[in-house]
Structure 1
Amino acid sequence: MPNVRPFLIALSLGALAGCAATRPHADAPAAVAPVVAGPAANDNLNAVAWTQTAIEHDLLYREVYRHAGEQLLHALKDRDWDALPREERTGKARRLAPAVILDIDETVLDNSPYQARLVRDGKRFDEFTWSQWCREETAQPLPGALEFTRLAAARGVTVFYLSNRAQDLNDATLANLRKAGFPIAVAEPVFLGLGTVVDGCEQSGSEKGCRRRLIGRTHRVLLQLGDQLGDFVDVLANTPQGRRDAVSGYADWFGERWFVLPNPTYGSWEPALFNNDWAQPETRQRAAKLDQLRY
């Protein structure tokens, strides 16, 4: 029998050499996954994504507007019903024509495409890009808004639109509202933008109190709807506590005479968290927000 030992040894050495050639060296660096380029992180991404894609967003709007419509019919039957803040009502409202007051942006018109562009482009709000968006006149009605305003108009209730859009956007805003199908009374000015002059009332910043008082001179306000606290009452101190104080005497009015719509993308609630100082770097603003969180 031939001696096979040398052959087996050679075969074993060859196999070991093959394994060594295919097995990664223990000290070799692991493969690194390629970095996929993308947009910079943006604090508003989740809020805008929720606004545009979550069915919960639409359901909330429909829920609020449906309940507001039910309250509207109830308020029409009660001649003493009034939704103006107590300090803004002068004289009796019983004999005045009925009206409702609505904010525009994120209350009746959806501006989330503008917010989405800011997220996509890594930018922040500025008056120029905002003006460009408004002049496109393409903002769509939010769920339930058309049905509610048309119900009000059909019942003889004047629909007033209060907005803090600049005066040079008045025409574009009215055109957008009309294109979207909202009722616009022609017998009286029903769009009151920022800068509206009200005799005998000195406006503070962008607060809407003077404009509400102007409406209250000729109308009994049945309901108010908006996405910001200032859509209902003037906020004297825009701090978390100051905002609570502003509505401390009106808790029972929400869901009865005042209806708040959800807007997580922007609002005066945000600068209240960092002392209203937009000049601060974003890192400081973010740190101030983190300080407000409860753990």
Structure 2
Amino acid sequence: MHGRNWTTRIAVSVAAVGVASVTTMGAAPATTASAPAGTQAAPSAYTAPAAPSHAAGVSAGFADVDYETWKRDVSAVTDVARPYLEQRISQGSGDKMAIVLDIDNTSLETHFHPFWEFPTPPIQQTLDLARYAKSRGVAVYFVTARPGIIYSLTKYNLEKAGFPISGLYVRDLPDLFEEVSKYKTAKRAEIEAKGYKIIANIGNTPTDMAGGHAEKTFKLPDYDGALS
């Protein structure tokens, strides 16, 4: 969400829905999940292939990212994530497992829809992964850089899009002064402190991937920051 004008988005959304403030999930002490043999393995990441030259004049922004190419590049990642989840879940009988999802351009098609079109539609490939995980008893958590004032709007949008939600983390006022990657890492640590093994962390920016606290990461395309 680093390239989005959330000041305008919040003003319009709050006026429409009447949201004044929201309360985010309470914090839990941060711990690190243990990997086999008492060590935490470094997460591995899959990065989508670079977009073809016709798909993105990435520095120019919104209009130059081709929607259909983006969807194909998303599928290149989720088509790898699905069999991984199937295998990992089948091997984790008895484990308390979770996946962590970013929201903007990972779960919702934020970049391709103006803020006044609400609710924002889901990214179908990510929705399918989330529903599959939930059907297999895996918790589905969302960790987003969106500010806390639009917690209710964000939760409503995810629910309308059909996502299962085990928990939603947004940035409270103190979090706004933290680096996004540090904030997101801390929230994954909080999820681990609840006893979960985060078997997959899915996002579309480097700040979603940094910091560990996930067995495996999957990075959707952002075309060098053209998509927030």
Tell me the equivalent position of 1:178: 159
CA RMSD in angstroms comes to: 3.1
Q: Whole-Å Cα distance in 2 between the matches of residues 137 and 165 of structure 1?
A: 16
Structure 1 residue 55 displacement after superposition: 2.2
Residues 196 and 64 from structure 1, CA distance in 2 versus in 1: closer, same or farther, beyond 3 angstroms? farther
Structure 1 residue 62 displacement after superposition: 1.9
Selected match of 1:263 from 210, 213, 222: 222
Tell me the equivalent position of 1:105: 104
Which whole-Å deviations, capped at 9, do the CAs of 1:58-99 have from their partners, x for residues lacking one?
1111221122111011112344xxxxxxxxxxxxxx965110
Structure 1 residue 49 displacement after superposition: 3.2
User: Is 1:232 aligned to residue 190 of structure 2?
Assistant: no
Selected match of 2:196 from 194, 198, 219: 219
Tell me the equivalent position of 2:87: 74
- Return structure 1 stretches of 4+ with deviation > 4 angstroms: 43-47
Q: Whole-Å Cα distance in 1 between the matches of residues 71 and 87 of structure 2?
A: 25
Any idea what SS the aligned residue of 1:263 has?
coil
Unaligned runs of 5+ in 2: 1-56
Q: Is the 8 A contact 2:78 2:125 kept in 1?
A: yes
Select the structure with the greater relative contact order (CA < 8 A; seq sep ≥ 6): 2
Q: Whole-Å Cα distance in 2 between the matches of residues 261 and 49 of structure 1?
A: 19
Structure 1 residue 161 displacement after superposition: 0.5
Q: Whole-Å Cα distance in 1 between the matches of residues 190 and 174 of structure 2?
A: 9
Q: Is the 8 A contact 1:99 1:219 kept in 2?
A: yes
Unaligned runs of 5+ in 1: 1-42, 80-93, 118-132, 235-246, 248-252, 268-295
Q: Residues 27-46 of structure 1: matches in 2 within 5 Å? A: none
User: Is 1:205 aligned to residue 179 of structure 2?
Assistant: yes
Paired amino acid for 1:183:
P
Q: Is the 8 A contact 1:107 1:225 kept in 2?
A: yes
Q: Residues 270-285 of structure 1: matches in 2 within 5 Å? A: none
Residues 49 and 169 from structure 1, CA distance in 2 versus in 1: closer, same or farther, beyond 3 angstroms? same
Q: Residues 56-95 of structure 1: matches in 2 within 5 Å? A: 56-79=69-92
Any idea what SS the aligned residue of 2:145 has?
coil
Structure with more of its chain in strand, by fraction: 2
Q: Whole-Å Cα distance in 1 between the matches of residues 174 and 153 of structure 2?
A: 20
Q: Percent identity?
A: 24
Larger radius of gyration: 1
Q: Whole-Å Cα distance in 1 between the matches of residues 218 and 73 of structure 2?
A: 11
User: Is 1:154 aligned to residue 135 of structure 2?
Assistant: yes
Residues 197 and 69 from structure 1, CA distance in 2 versus in 1: closer, same or farther, beyond 3 angstroms? farther
User: Is 1:163 aligned to residue 133 of structure 2?
Assistant: no
Q: Whole-Å Cα distance in 1 between the matches of residues 188 and 108 of structure 2?
A: 20
Any idea what SS the aligned residue of 1:109 has?
coil
